[in-house]
A and B are shown apart, each in its own frame.
Chain A
Amino acid sequence: MQNAPTTEQVAAGIRRRVFEHAIRNNGGYLSQACSAAEQLAFLYNEALNLGPSTMPMVPPPFAGVPSANNPDYVTGAGYNGPFTPEYDRLFIAPAHYALVAYACLIETGRMAPEGLEMFNKDGSSVEMIGAEHSPGMEVHNGTLGIGLSTAAGLAWGRKRKGEAGNVCVFMSDGEVQEGQTWEAVQAAAHHGIDNLWALMDVNRQQCDGAMDDVMRVGDIATKLRNFGAVVAEIDAHDLTALRQARALPHEGQPLIILAHSSPTKGMDFLMRRFPRLHYVRFKSEEERREMNIAIAAELGIAPIELEDH
């Protein structure tokens, strides 16, 4: 029996797994692993009160969407533990972080490494954009901005029922461009929903590139405070700071932690692709080989062995 991994080890493992997957599959959501590794590791490994997974280590294949004719339908919530009053719930709002979240499930012993082999394969539940039935996903969040509202509703309901479990949302900063995010914050504040908290990956990147070029959002912290949230701003890669932020009192208000992250943390070689980091696809075999060697060195591992094509 091994000792439980430290949060640092989980974060390092997330970066390694996502990197290996991206190299093997000629691209992937690499920068999300760079920015969010510590955050997801922190949530799964220490911040959240999650029970043991109720789901098989190797994810079952896609078994149909919810319908009256599909009574056996289950979501991916079971990977985050049983849905019972004492445990926390986690919504991963930016569903395109799925690969990073799956890597985190593996690193925390909730999913077998083989699960990642099913990523984005037809007929698999381990979908590229996390669906409600994908491991670790509890609701559909693929359209950005709906996660915090859903979590606020769930949290209000849990509070009404006297349940001890909190509701946490892992968010992306691009979501503050959506009006619904602000509607959600004002509603959570108005209704005093303080069993709700969010951890936002502020990497200042979005699909089209740097957020400042796509749509400037100003000072997110001030805006969130004005809408009624308690806000902490920290370095996303500093676990001590994450712990302190989570401990902030926020009675009667939601807590939102702005985790300022580097989209290339741990893989500085990716800066060559800045600011187009949303999905890193290799432009040539040569670039792939070059990245394999350089980033593997940064991660302290041997380059990934590639099969000949």
Chain B
Amino acid sequence: MEMVNRPYARAFEQYATQHPEVLCLSADLTSSCEIDGFRDRHPDQFLSMGMAEQNMLSFAGGLGLAGFRPFIHSFGVFLYRRPYDQLMASIAYPRRKVRLMGFLPGITTPGGMTHQAIEDIALMRAIPNMTVLEAGDATEVESIVAEADAVDGPVYCRILRGSVPRLFATPMKIGQIRVLAEGSDVLVVTAGIATEEALRARAALAEAGVSVRHLHLNTHKPFDAAQIVDHAASVRHGVVTLENHLVTGGIGSMVAEALAEAGLPRRLVRLGLQDTYAHGGSRPYLMRYYGLDALSLVRAVEQVAGQQTGITEESLETVRIDAVHSAVKAEAL
């Protein structure tokens, strides 16, 4: 599997330098959000806003009113918890073209409760006028910049930083669900880093004879409920969602709402944080501890399919790299 170093840094610089109405805002997390190089090379397009997120959000609303398209960079959690009122009144209500770039989504940070955006999708998708995106690999991190900037209104993006795997060969398109496998037993719906976990689980499940239909979401809002329902209707047993987020208000809730409104009776297991905060630790440890990893997904699929596969943690380790790579090729078709 190809690993890409700092895909956001390169993609943003490439895009922003072509679009002078794009401004780069940072709240004292410039290198942490991979825009330090941009700051140094393009100081005229960069605004240091200090540790003052409430002002930064309203200020960005004012920049939007002046005809600019500010990209606000911080850890996702700092973009909405403290300045939620400013997000509502200065950005979302007037539909300013502000692009909120939220780094370290969910448990991808060892920073613990204060740093972990675990309810951001739930809040953001409840906000009228908001578009909500999430990158799942390096290709999506690269393509999310232009996609977000094409939106006529505010956008919140979950961004991955540092060394990011490349899973997809084609850029993301807002609203387009990626169909990664078209199996007939269980539907698995994932987004963000959960998709990589699902790719691992899928390869093992295929060997064990369980046919998985796998969807990857990069657009949480607008949400394509009809397509989810169609896919859910085409599997035998039921649906499993896996998300780097609370199951309340996130993908699990979105899928549940879609099935209920369509009147489609399907078993649904929602994996993610179960009405709990997380604590600080490494990403693999946290994914294991809170049941967001490939093994947890295998167990949930077994539960829905009503069969044991004999897959163990060790067997998942061995399928890892090759399996992921072949899945990518399948998707590229």
Partners in one complex: yes
**Stretch with Cβ within 8 A of B (4 or more), from A114-122, A152-160, A243-251:** A152-160
Asked if A146 is at the interface (CB within 8 A of a chain B CB), the reply is yes
Cross-chain contact B93 with A187 (CB below 8 angstroms): no
Query: What's the Cα separation between A210 and B150 when bound, in Å?
Result: 49
Stretch at the interface among A21-29, A61-69, A301-309: A61-69
How distant is A31 from chain B, measured CB to nearest CB, in Å? Answer: 25
| B90 x A184 contact (CB < 8 A) | no
Contacts of A156 in B (CB 8 A): 47, 59, 62-63, 66
- Of B47, B52, B59, B68, which contacts A150 at CB under 8 A? B59
Residues on A with C-beta less than 8 A from B208 are none
With both chains docked as a complex, state the minimum distance between the C-beta of A259 and any C-beta of chain B, in angstroms: 23
B55 in contact with A149 (CB, 8 Å): yes
Decide: B50 and A179 in contact? CB cutoff 8 A.
no
Residues of chain B contacted by A142 (CB below 8 angstroms) = 89
Q: What is the total number of residues of chain B having a CB less than 8 Å from a CB of chain A?
A: 31
Closest chain-B Cβ to A28's Cβ sits at a distance in Å of 25
* A67 & B94 in contact (Cβ 8 Å cutoff): no
Interface residues of B in 25-68 (CB under 8 A from A): 47-50, 52, 54-68
A159-217 with Cβ < 8 A to chain B: 160-161, 179-180, 183-184, 186-187, 190-191
Overall SS of chain A's interface: helix
C-alpha spacing A132/B94, complex, angstroms: 8
Q: Render A50-90 as a binary contact track against B, CB cut-off 8 A, 1 for contact.
A: 00000000000000011110000001000000000000000
The smallest beta-carbon distance between A114 and chain B, in angstroms, is 28
Answer yes or no: A256 CB below 8 A from chain B CBs.
no
Question: Does chain A have a CB within 8 A of B317?
Answer: no
A145 to B62, CA, bound (A): 14
Q: Are A67 and B58 in contact (CB under 8 A)?
A: no
CA distance A67 to B130 in the complex (A): 10
B141 to chain A, nearest CB (A): 26
User: Is B109 on the interface with A (CB-CB < 8 A)?
Assistant: no
Contact A187 B59 (CB under 8 A): yes
Q: Which residues of B contact A132 (CB under 8 A)?
A: 93-94
* CA A154 to CA B59, docked complex, whole Å: 7
Nearest chain A CB to B152's CB is how many angstroms away?
7
Q: Is the CB of B62 within 8 A of A179?
A: no
Assess the A153–B66 pair: CB atoms within 8 A: yes
**Complex CA distance for A106 and B333, rounded to whole angstroms:** 66
**Is B129 an interface residue when CB atoms closer than 8 A count as contact?**
yes
Chain B's closest residue to A141 (CB) is B89
Task: Give Cα A68 to B66, complex, Å.
Answer: 20
Q: Determine whether A143 belongs to the interface, using a CB cutoff of 8 Å to chain B.
A: yes
Q: Which of B50, B67, B95 contacts A187 (CB 8 A)?
A: B50
Contact of A154 among B66, B85, B89, B93 (CB under 8 A): B66
Q: Which residues of A contact B94 (CB under 8 A)?
A: 66, 75, 132, 139-140
Contact of A157 among B55, B62, B95, B128 (CB under 8 A): B62
Q: How far is the CA of A81 from the CA of B64 in the complex (A)?
A: 19
Q: Given known contacts A154-B66, A156-B63, A156-B66, what 12 new A-B pairs fall within 8 Å (CB)?
A: A66-B94, A68-B95, A141-B89, A146-B86, A152-B55, A153-B66, A154-B62, A157-B62, A157-B66, A157-B67, A157-B68, A180-B55
Q: List 7 A-B contacts (CB under 8 A).
A: A65-B93, A68-B129, A142-B89, A149-B54, A149-B57, A149-B59, A156-B47
Q: Which residues of A contact B (CB under 8 A)?
A: 65-68, 75, 132, 139-143, 145-146, 149-158, 160-161, 179-180, 183-184, 186-187, 190-191
Q: Give the 3 A-B residue pairs with the shortest CB-CB distance, closest first.
A: A153-B62, A157-B66, A149-B58
